[in-house]
A and B are shown apart, each in its own frame.
Chain A
Amino acid sequence: MKKSDPDIQVARPAVSVALTTLVQQPMVKVGVSAVLLAVAVLVPFILTGYWVRVLTTMLMYAALASSLNIIMGYTGYTDFGNIVFFGIGAYSTGILMKVVGLPLLLAMPVGAVLCSLLAVVMGLPILRLRGYYFAIASLGLSQAMRELVRNMEITGGAKGFSFPMWRVPPRTFNISIYFLMFGLMLMSIAISRWVLHSRLGYGLRAIRADEQGAAVMGINTTWHKITAWALSAFMTGLVGGAYGFWFVYVTPDDVFNILVSVKYLVMVLLGGAGTVAGPVIGAFVLEYVSDFIWARFSVIHMGVLGLAIILTVLFMPRGFLHMIRTRVRPLLARAIIRAERS
C-alpha cells in the first residue's frame, strides 16, 4: 500500500483527533493532578533548603493568585489593593499569637475572619463604585492601612513586629512551612473551583459580563460582590498569617507592599483570569522567572517584572491558557495533521 492510498489518508488524521480528545478526558486531568500531587509531596524531602523555600514562595503566590481570581477573574473587579488583607492577616495572626497566646492554627483563621469583616465593611461603600474607581479605592485603602498600621503601638509601628518563634531545626521548619503553604494553595484552588461551579459563581460571572443586566435578572449584585471580596479576603488573610509565621518578623512595608499585590495580579492575568488553573500556572511561571532573575540580576529585578507586565499585557492579555487554547492548540493540531499526511 502506497502512502497516497485513499484508505490510509482517511485513517491518519484520526490519530490527531484521538490525541486531542485524549488530552481533554477528565481522567487524564485527574491522573496528571495526582502525579503532580505526589511529586509535590515528595519533593521537599529531596531538595535543598533553598529550593524548598523557592517552592514554598511559589505555592504562596499560587494561593494568593487563586484567591484574587475570585474577585478579579470571576467578578471582573480589579482589586489592586488585595494586599491589605495579606497585611492584616499577618499582623492579626501575630498579635493573636503573641498577645492573646493563641496557637498558629487558631490565630490564622481568626485573623482571616477579621479580613473578611473588613472586606464587608469597606465593601459596602467601595464595591458600589464602577470597576476603575474600585481599583483606585482598593489601592488607596491598602496604602491608608499601611500608614495606619505604621502608626499603631500594638503593631510595633515602623519598627516591625516579631512573631513568637517556633524552635525546631531549620529543615523541619522549612518542610513544615512548605506543607502549610501547600495546604493553603490546595484550599485556595478548592474554594476557587467551588465558587466557579456554584450559584455564587454564576452570579459573579454574570456581573462580570454585564452588571446592569445581571441586576435586571434579579441578581443581588451588592451581596454577590461583597461575598466574593470577603472570600478573597479570607483566603488572602490566611496566607498572610502563614507568611508572618514563616518570616517571623514583619514590617508595614513588607506586608502591605503594593508591588506584591500587583505581582500576583499579573500572575492572574498571565495565567488566565477566570479559570481555576490559570492563576496557579501564572504564579508558578512568573515566580520561577522572578526568582531566576533575582538570583542572577538582582539589581534589575523590578525592571524585569515591569517588562514582563508590559509584554503580558501587550501579547497575552487574556492569559497563557487562553492563548494556548486559541492559538497554540490549533497550530499544534494542524502541524500534527500535516506531519501525518506526509
Chain B
Amino acid sequence: MSLQVLINGIVLGGLYACVGMGFSLVYGVLGISNLAHGALLMLGSYVTYWLFTLYGVDPFLSIIPSMAVLFVLGYLIQRLVINRVMGGEIRTTLILTFGFQLLLINVALYIFKGDYRAVSPSYAGEGFRFGSLTLPYARLAVLLIGIGSAIALQLFTTRTKVGNAIKAVALNRRGAELCGVDINHVYAVTFGIGAALAAVAGSAATMVYVLTPYIGQPLLGRAFVVTILGGMGNIVGPLLGGLALGLAETTGAAILGTTYQEAISFIFLVLVLVLRPQGLYGRQFFGGS
C-alpha cells in the first residue's frame, strides 16, 4: 500500500515540478510572481485539447505547438503590459498578473464554455503493473516530461546565447545591460519561456485532470509551494520541490483522507514560508553549482 502511495507521490510530483519550473524561472529573472501562470497553463491545455479533438494529435506531441502559442502570448503580455510596471512595488505586479488571470480565464470561459472536457487517447487508462502496484503510462510520461523540461531548461540557459543573457540578467541586471544585453527583450523572452513551460504543464495536465477553464487554479497554488520549496529561480529546485510536495500530498491524503489534499499543500506552503523561506535547496539563482 505505502509503495503505491510513494509511486503516486513521485508521479504527481513530476507534474507539480513541471508547473513550478516556469513560475520559478519568471520569478528568478524578472522578480515577478506570475499569478496568471495557472491561466496560461489552462490555455496550453486547451490547445492540446483542440488539436486532439479536431486533428487527433497525440497530447504529448501537441506540447510543441502548445509551447509555441504560449511563448508568443507570454512575450507579448510582458513586452506590452507588464514591462510598464517592472521595477515598481512587488504588489503591483502581483495584482496586475492577477488581473490578467481573471481576464484570461473569463475569455476561455466565454469561448470554450465551462463544460467538462477530457483528453483520452487510446492508452489513457493503461499502465504498468507490478503485482499490486500500478503506474499509469500517462502519469509516468508526465514525470519524464518534468525531468526533461528541467534538463532542457538547464541546457538552454548554459549553452545558448539567449540563455546566457537570461542568466546574466538574473545575476546582475546592470552588468548585463553594460554588456549590451537588451533587457526588455530578455525579460519578454523569459516570460515567454515561462508561459511555454506553463503550456507544457498544461498539456501534461490534460492527461491527469478534467479540463475546464479552472484547471490551472489548484496548480497555481502548487506552483507557489514548489517554487518556494525549491528556492526561487532555481531549476533543479522545483524538481525536488515538486517531488517533495507530491509525496507530502499523497502521504497526507493516505493518512487523513483525500479531501485534505489541497489543505495539505497550502499548509505546507505556510510552514515552509515560516520555517525555511529560502527553500529546501536554499541557493540563489545559479549562484554556485
Contact = CB atoms under 8 A, between A and B. Distances in A.
Interface of A: 78, 80, 125-126, 129, 131-133, 135-137, 139-141, 143-144, 147-148, 150-151, 259, 262, 265-266, 269, 299-310, 313-314, 317
Contacts of B105: 302-303
A132 B31 CA distance: 10
B101 A135 contact: no
A269 B33 contact: no
B270 A141 contact: yes
| Range of interface residues on B (Cβ < 8 Å) | 35 or more
Contacts of A148: 263
A54 to B, nearest CB: 21
Contacts of A144: 263, 266-267, 269-270
Given A131-B90, A303-B110, A137 B102 contact: no
B155 interface: no
A314 B85 CA distance: 7
A140 B259 contact: no
B229 to A, nearest CB: 12
Contacts of A301: 106
Contact of A310 (B33, B81, B257, B270): B81
Contact of A147 (B110, B224, B228, B266): B266
Interface of A is mostly: helix
A136 B103 contact: no
A154 to B, nearest CB: 16
Nearest to B218: A143
Contact of A126 (B102, B257, B273): B273
Interface stretch (B4-12, B91-99, B161-169, B176-184): B91-99
Given A306-B102, A309-B96, A313-B95, A137 B273 contact: yes
Contacts of B104: 306
A268 to B, nearest CB: 10
Contacts of B91: 78, 131-132, 135
Given A309-B98, A314-B96, 10 more contacts: A129-B273, A133-B273, A133-B277, A135-B91, A139-B224, A140-B221, A140-B224, A306-B100, A308-B99, A310-B99
A304 B100 CA distance: 10
Nearest to B84: A314
Contact of B110 (A126, A299, A309, A317): A299
B262 interface: yes
B274 interface: yes
B106 A140 contact: no
Given A126-B270, A144-B270, A266 B109 contact: no
A265 B101 contact: no
Top 5 A-B pairs ranked by shortest CB distance? A306-B102, A309-B99, A303-B106, A147-B263, A306-B103
Interface string B94-131: 11101111111111011000000000000000000000
B102 A129 contact: no
Interface in B230-287: 257, 259-260, 262-263, 266-267, 269-270, 273-274, 277
Given A135-B91, A151-B263, A303 B102 contact: yes
B92 A313 contact: yes
B102 to A, nearest CB: 3
B288 interface: no
Contacts of A151: 257, 259-260, 263
B227 to A, nearest CB: 10
B273 A303 contact: no
Given A143-B266, A300-B106, A303-B106, A78 B85 contact: no
Contacts of A78: 90-91, 94
Q: Which of B81, B90, B102, B104 has the most CB of A within 10 A?
A: B102
15 contacts: A126-B273, A129-B274, A131-B91, A133-B273, A136-B269, A137-B270, A139-B224, A141-B270, A144-B269, A147-B259, A147-B266, A151-B260, A302-B109, A305-B99, A314-B84
Contacts of A136: 33, 224, 228, 269, 273
A11 B56 CA distance: 81
A279 B103 CA distance: 23
A302 B108 CA distance: 11
Contacts of A133: 273, 277
